[in-house]
Amino acid sequence: MSTIVNSTTLKARSKGHPVLIITKDTLFSNLCSAKHFLISLLMVVIVPLIALFLLDVKLLNENNTLTEQLGLVHFIYTNGLVFPIIITVSAAPLISEEINSGTMLTLVSKPLRREGIVLGKFIALFLFGSLLSTSSLLILSLAARLIWPFPDVMEFFIVNFIFSIVIIICFGGVTMGLSSMIKKPRNVILFPIIFIIFSFLLGIFIKMLLINPSIDGQSIYEKYQLYHFDLSYHMANIYLSMIDHTVPNAIDAWSTFLVVLGYRKYEAVWVCSPYFALCGLGSIPVVSNYYPPIVSSIILILIGVFMLMGGIFYLKKKDIS
């Protein structure tokens, strides 16, 4: 339920900046309420924690890294599905419910610009997502230390926190923009949730049929340049490239799944057997390099920013009565 910041609230706190008042009330009265935050935190950490405690420490050695053991689970479950969904569900009612309840009419009748309302609520969402990410990563880092002295706990924390910021801006901006344009929160949620689920569940299964190279060496996925529109590719490109730079070789064990995500591709080569006079078409995985990782980051951030700005522009023109 969206926080109601009415004229009494603004008057009582007139010494503060109106945007900061909205940020504070939205953050503490709604997004970071004990029930909402704890449920969100539990959803984010439950599967990675289970995966962590199921590790057989007898099989681990000093060369094993936390990223190698947990990175793929955390990327698919937390960063790919649960965290974006939580951000989307949390952002959806922030503007639309204010309009439905009539509170927006009270707010805009005061000396408070409409873009200030949206900005204040988006800052609250950003702080909520950052706090949720930090808390979950601290729990996983401490649990990992209890299980095994992994050498890359700090790197794991930093990579996932930076990546979570991109997710908050992208999905938070898109949902806040839609919340400014669509009256019913459930309709606001619908498109982002469908897109997330399709990209990381159904889309991955479909992509398995499109990634194998044909005789000319190109897959359907590459030939028709489907990676331009593939959310899971851009997210994997950002996340996995950071891992490659901070924890080298940690993702080598995920080779098949890296191809499914689009981060690597099969390159067709002729393979000859040293034992038999036979040659045939084979393939090896190589980094796809469809986009530089920084460009993928900019694309996702700009999508969120443009949708947020579009929502502000629409709200400024909208007749609220």
**DSSP reduced 3-state for 269:** strand
Question: Using 50, 70 and 90 to split pLDDT, how confident is the model at 102?
Answer: low
Taking 80 as the threshold, does the pLDDT of residue 256 lie above it? no
Task: Give me the pLDDT at residue 303, please.
Answer: 97
Question: Using 50, 70 and 90 to split pLDDT, how confident is the model at 222?
Answer: confident
Q: Is the pTM of this model over 0.95?
A: no
What average pLDDT does the structure give for the chain?
A: 86
Question: Using 50, 70 and 90 to split pLDDT, how confident is the model at 174?
Answer: very high
**Calpha distance 224→7 (Å, rounded):** 54
Taking 90 as the threshold, does the pLDDT of residue 163 lie above it? yes
**Calpha distance 321→313 (Å, rounded):** 17
What is the DSSP pairing of strand 279-287 with strand 264-272? Answer: antiparallel
CB burial string 217-248: b at 16+ within 10 A, e below: eebebbeeebbeebbbbbbbbbbbbbbbeebe
Q: How far is CA 294 from CA 234, 248, 249, in A?
A: 10, 18, 21
Task: Give me the pLDDT at residue 1, please.
Answer: 44
Task: Give me the pLDDT at residue 267, please.
Answer: 73
**Calpha distance 98→22 (Å, rounded):** 12
- Domain positions in the chain are 7-186
Contact 53/140 with Cβ under 8 angstroms? no
